Amino acid sequence: MKKDNIFMNIIQKKVKTDILYQDELVTAFYDLNPKAPVHVLIVPNILIPTVNHATTHDEIILGRLFIVAAKIAEQKNIHSSGYRLIVNCNDHSGQEIYHLHMHLLGGKPLGPLLQK
Ligand code: AMP
């Protein structure tokens, strides 16, 4: 599995991006093509390509994604109005980047979860 995906380059600051948050486990930055007024990606600092690749060793990292999402939602003042967290996995979900990531979306009513 290739380790030099675009998200790894952002995490390692090899490409210039506004990083909203970074700690020893995860990094958060704005989505390049925002689908809502707030659209942030929160990603593990290590390569876990999809949810299918996650193991029990990754539990703290995966939990941190939620903690950081809630923290950023509060900073962006969307924690009370509400927001959506999405993790895509593989082809049918439309996953484009094979470096597990959580989408944080909010800032307006988001409508139904799935279009028919
Ligand atoms: P997914 O479909 O869940 O794999 O989502 C991938 C997301 O990454 C999409 O919403 C893209 O807009 C976003 N994206 C792709 N390249 C970049 C980049 N260089 N910086 C920030 N977001 C990106």
How far, in Å, CA of 72 to CA of 94, rounded? Answer: 24
- Is 16 touching ligand 1 by the criterion CB < 6 Å? no
Q: Is this prediction's pTM over 0.85? A: yes
What is the C-alpha separation between 34 and 84, in angstroms, rounded? Answer: 13
Task: Determine the number of helices (DSSP H) and then strands (DSSP E) in the chain.
Answer: 2, 5
Residue 44 included in any domain:
yes
Q: Please tell me the distance from the alpha carbon of residue 28 to that of residue 95, in angstroms, as a whole number.
A: 18
Residue 65 placed within a domain: yes
Does residue 116 form part of some domain?
Answer: no
116 residues of the chain, pLDDT tens digit each? 556 799 999 999 999 999 999 999 999 999 999 999 999 999 999 999 999 999 999 999 999 999 999 999 999 999 999 999 999 999 999 999 999 999 999 999 999 998 77
CATH code, domain carrying 53: 3.30.428.10
Q: Which domain holds residue 39?
A: 6-106
* Spatial strand order in the sheet of 102-106: 19-22, 26-30, 38-44, 102-106, 83-86
Q: How many domains does the structure of the chain reveal?
A: 1
Pocket test for ligand 1, best of 31, 88, 105 (most atoms within 8 A of CB): 31
| 99 inside domain | yes
Per the domain annotation, does 113 fall within a domain?
no
With respect to residue 86, please indicate whether it lies within any of the assigned structural domains: yes
